[in-house]
Amino acid sequence: MKRFPNQRIAITGGASGLGKALALRFARAGWKVAIADIHDQRGEETLAELQNLGVEAFYQHCDVTQVGHLQKLKDCLIHKWGGVDIMVNNAGVATHGPIDTASLDDWDWVIDINLMGVVRGCKLFSQLFKEQGYGHLINVASIAGLVYSPEMSSYNATKAGVVALSETLRAELAPSNIGVSVVCPGFFQTNLAETARSPDAGVQQMINKLLGSSKITADDIAHMIYQSVEQKKFWILPHANYKYLWYLKRYLPTLYHQGMVSMATKMLNKRKRATDALTTE
């Protein structure tokens, strides 16, 4: 990647799933890699894998809800490597549940990590990129930021926010020679279900089943991101089938809406059957 002669990347949520796959992908290309996460054990394990590849790397405990932690990550990057070329705002969690029963605490939690975590990363690292005269932000949203499945309103809202933020910064930061990409994958297997929150019992198994349904792996997506950044692409939509759903929403909005209503009706009927089964027991 000629645009980035120093080859230094930092990744939040870099201890697991897509963040880890990205760390290894860039390390295999010889990049220096900094991973930041709240899961210290996985962070240290990932660091060992990176060091086995013979690249310079470090792990830092960093909670993206704490601006001071991100500031410390930035200070460390300046101190160790004189700066950073690419910042990946990837750390994220999942929430689920109907609007009337999902808790406001879950809304606060997911907004603070998925949306405000990305906002904090963009704010601090765009300042550094302006000082350096170049840099690139990769924001990990989701296809849930473009098409909105029922019973996922809080997660959808955070990811739509990341898409809006990224589109805004794409234009705003272009004159400062700062690139932006937004990643909108569908489901793929990671540890995302482990910490998922919902008012419904069994949601972690349900999400895990959805994650396992994908033919595309985190490694495949990491590779696509690597290639897309090289080509200065803004939109990165790794799952073709979900991309068509987004096109459907844009070009045939009534049909898209009818599909979503049909999905919501099935979900509601399933809930009713479960409640009826409980009351007749």
Ligand X SMILES: NC(=O)c1ccc[n+]([C@@H]2O[C@H](COP(=O)([O-])OP(=O)(O)OC[C@H]3O[C@@H](n4cnc5c(N)ncnc54)[C@H](O)[C@@H]3O)[C@@H](O)[C@H]2O)c1
Residues that are catalytic: 155
Taking the complex as a whole, the smallest distance from the CB of residue 157 to ligand X amounts, in Å, to 13
DSSP symbol at 79: H
Nearest CA among 204, 196, 164 for reference residue 180? 164
Of 230, 233, 149, 137, whose CA–CA distance to 186 is shortest? 149
Q: How far is the CB of 25 from ligand X (least distance, A)?
A: 13
**Residue whose tokens read 């879950």:** 106
132/162 with CB nearer ligand X: 162
Q: How many CB atoms lie within 10 A of CB 257?
A: 11
Closest CB 11 distance from ligand X, rounded Å: 10
**Considering beta carbons, is residue 92 or 179 the nearer one to ligand X?**
92
* 175 secondary structure, DSSP code: G
Task: Name the DSSP letter for residue 35.
Answer: E
25: left (phi over 0), alpha (psi -120 to 50) or beta: alpha
Which helix (H) or strand (E) covers residue 267, if one does? helix 253-280
Q: Taking the complex as a whole, how short is the minimal distance between the CB of residue 17 and ligand X, in angstroms?
A: 2
Q: Which residues here bind ligand X, judged by CB under 6 A?
A: 12-13, 15-19, 37-39, 42, 62-65, 90-93, 113, 140, 142, 185, 187-188, 190-192, 211
Cβ proximity to ligand X: between 177 and 195 the closer is 195
Q: Which residue has the tokens 């054990």?
A: 41
State which residue, 209 or 250, has the beta carbon closest to ligand X: 209
* Complex with ligand X: residue 126 or 142, whichever CB lies closer: 142
Spatial distance between the Cα atoms of 269 and 257, rounded to a whole number of angstroms? 18
Q: How far is the CB of 111 from ligand X (least distance, A)?
A: 12
Phi-psi region of 82 (alpha: psi -120 to 50; beta: other; left: phi over 0): left
